[in-house]
Amino acid sequence: MISVAMCTYNGAKYLSEQLKSIADQTVSVDELVVCDDRSKDDTIEIIKSFAATCKFPVRIHVNGQNLGSTKNFEKCLSLCKGDIIFLCDQDDRWRRDKVQKQLAFLNARRDLDAVFSDAEIVGDDSQPTGRTIWEEIEFGKRRQEIWRGGKSHEILFKGFVVTGATLAIRKSCLARLMPFPTHVQDLIHDAWIAMVLSLENKIDFIPETLICYRIHSSQQVGFGNKVEKVELKDRFNRDRRLKLVPLQQKAKKLHDMYLLLLALPFIRHEKLRKLNLSQKHFHTRAALPENRLKRIIPVLNQLVRGYYQFSSEDWWLPAAGDLLE
Give all domains of the chain, ordered by start, each with its CATH number: 2-214 (3.90.550.10), 232-324 (no CATH)
More confident call, 218 vs 255: 255
CA angle 14, 162, 21 (to 5 degrees): 30
pLDDT of residue 135: 97
Detail the DSSP E strand segments found in 73-186: 84-88, 93-94, 114-122, 128-132, 168-170
| 3-state SS assignment for residue 210 | strand
pLDDT of residue 216: 72
CA distance 242 to 76: 39
Per-residue model confidence as pLDDT tens digits over 220-278: 555 544 555 655 556 666 778 888 999 999 999 999 999 999 999 999 999 999 999 99
27 pLDDT higher than 80? yes
CA distance 129 to 107: 33
282 pLDDT higher than 50? yes
Burial of 289 (0-12, 13-18, 19+ CB in 10 A): exposed
Detail the DSSP E strand segments found in the chain: 2-8, 31-36, 58-62, 84-88, 93-94, 114-122, 128-132, 168-170, 203-214
* Among 28-42, 103-117, 136-150, 226-240, the least confident range: 226-240
Task: Determine contact, residues 275/195, Cβ cutoff 8 Å.
Answer: no
- Can you tell me the mean pLDDT for 282-287? 97
pLDDT of residue 225: 46
Per-residue model confidence as pLDDT tens digits over 185-199: 899 999 999 999 999
State the average pLDDT for the chain.
Answer: 93
Per-residue model confidence as pLDDT tens digits over 119-161: 999 999 999 999 999 999 999 999 999 999 999 999 999 999 9
